[in-house]
A and B are shown apart, each in its own frame.
Chain A
Amino acid sequence: MKSLTLRNKKTSWKRSQNIGLLYIAPWIIGFLVFQLYPFIVSLIYSFADFSIIKTPEFVGLKNYINLFTKDRLFYHSLKTTFIYVLIAVPGKLIFALIIALILNMKLKYINFYRTIYYMPSILGGSVAVSILWRFLFARNGLVNILLSKFSIAPIDWLGSPDVALYTISLLKVWQFGSSMVLFLAGLKQIPGELYEAAKVDGAGKIRTFFSVTLPLLTPIIFFNLIMQMVNAFQEFTSAFVVTQGGPLRSTYLYGLMLYEQGFRFLKMGYASAQSWILFIIIMAMTALVFKSSPYWTYYDDEGDF
Chain B
Amino acid sequence: MKKSVKRIMVVCILAILTLSIVGGLSIQAAKPKKVQLRFSWWGNDARHKATLKAIELYTKKNPHVEIMAEYGGFGTYYQKLLTQLAGRTAADIIQIDYKWVNDLASQGKLFVDMSKMSNKIDMSGFDKKFVKDQCAVGDYILGLPTGISVLGLIGNDSLLKEAGINIDQDWDWDKIIEEGVKLQKFDKNKHLLYMKTIHYYYLTKVMLKQKTGTDFINDDYTLAFTKKDLVDVFSYIRKMIDLGVVPPLEETVLFDGGDPDQNPNWLQGQYAFNSNQASKLAAIIGASKFDIDVARYPVPKNAKNPGLITSPAQILTINKNSDHIDEAAKFVNWFFNDPEAILTLRDTRGLPAVKKAREILMKENLLDERVVRMVDVTLPFSGGAENALSLNQEIETIVEDYIHQVGFKKLTPEKAADNMMKDLNYKLQELKSAK
Binding site for B on A (CB under 8 A): 49, 51-54, 70, 72, 134-135, 138-140, 156, 158-161, 243-244, 246-249, 260, 263-266
Contacts and interface: CB of A to CB of B under 8 A. Distances in A.
B82 A266 contact: yes
A248 B256 contact: no
Contacts of A52: 82-83, 86
Given A53-B82, A248-B408, A248-B410, A156 B250 contact: yes
Contact of B250 (A49, A72, A247): A247
A263 B80 CA distance: 9
A140 B247 CA distance: 13
Interface string B387-430: 00000011001000100110010100000000000010010001
A244 B256 contact: yes
Nearest to B253: A247
B257 A247 contact: no
B251 A139 contact: yes
Contacts of B82: 52-53, 263, 266
A265 B394 contact: yes
Given A54-B107, A54-B108, A266-B103, A247 B393 contact: no
Given A53-B107, A158-B254, A265-B393, A247 B79 contact: no
B44 interface: no
Given A159-B249, A160-B250, A244-B257, 19 more contacts: A53-B82, A53-B86, A54-B107, A70-B426, A72-B423, A134-B254, A139-B254, A156-B250, A156-B251, A158-B253, A159-B250, A159-B251, A246-B256, A248-B401, A249-B404, A260-B397, A263-B82, A265-B393, A266-B107
9 contacts: A49-B434, A53-B86, A140-B264, A159-B249, A161-B408, A248-B404, A265-B393, A266-B103, A266-B107
B254 A159 contact: yes
Interface of B: 78-79, 82-83, 85-86, 103, 107-108, 110, 197, 248-254, 256-257, 264-265, 393-394, 397, 401, 404-405, 408, 410, 423, 426, 430, 434
A247 to B, nearest CB: 5
Contacts of A158: 253-254
Nearest to A259: B79
Contacts of B110: 53
Contacts of A246: 197, 253, 256, 404
Contacts of A156: 250-251
A131 B414 CA distance: 36
Contact of A51 (B107, B252, B401, B405): B107
Nearest to B88: A53
A52 B401 CA distance: 26
Contact of B401 (A160, A249, A264): A249
A251 to B, nearest CB: 11
Contacts of B397: 260
Contact of A53 (B108, B252, B408): B108
A161 B409 CA distance: 11
Determine which residue in B78, B86, B110, B248 has the highest number of CB atoms from chain A within 10 A of its CB, and name it: B86
B431 to A, nearest CB: 11
Contacts of A247: 249-250, 253, 404, 408
B86 A159 contact: no
B79 A263 contact: yes
Interface of A: prevailing SS:
loop
Contacts of A51: 107
Contacts of A243: 253-254
Nearest to A161: B408
Which 4 A/B pairs are nearest by Cβ-Cβ distance? A159-B250, A156-B250, A52-B86, A263-B79
Nearest to A49: B434
Contacts of A138: 254, 264
A161 B410 contact: yes
Contacts of A263: 78-79, 82-83
Contacts of B401: 248-249
A160 B257 CA distance: 17
Contacts of A244: 256-257
A259 to B, nearest CB: 8
Contacts of B423: 72
Contacts of A139: 250-251, 254
B361 to A, nearest CB: 36
Contacts of B103: 266
Nearest to A163: B250
B265 to A, nearest CB: 8
Contacts of B410: 161, 248
Given A156-B250, A161-B408, A264 B108 contact: no
Nearest to A162: B408
B201 to A, nearest CB: 13
Contacts of A134: 254
A72 B405 CA distance: 15
B85 A53 contact: yes
A159 B252 CA distance: 8
Contacts of A135: 264
Contacts of A159: 248-254
A139 B110 CA distance: 45
Contacts of A70: 426, 430
A272 B78 CA distance: 19
A248 B405 contact: yes
A255 to B, nearest CB: 14
Contacts of B252: 159
Contacts of B86: 52-53
Nearest to A15: B1
A297 B248 CA distance: 49
A156 B107 CA distance: 42
Nearest to A252: B401
Nearest to A66: B430
A160 B409 CA distance: 11
Contacts of A249: 401, 404
Contacts of B253: 158-159, 243, 246-247
Nearest to A51: B107
A265 to B, nearest CB: 6
A248 B401 CA distance: 7
Contacts of A140: 264-265
B53 to A, nearest CB: 29
A188 B414 CA distance: 63
A194 to B, nearest CB: 50
Nearest to A263: B79
Nearest to A155: B250
A167 to B, nearest CB: 11
A157 to B, nearest CB: 9
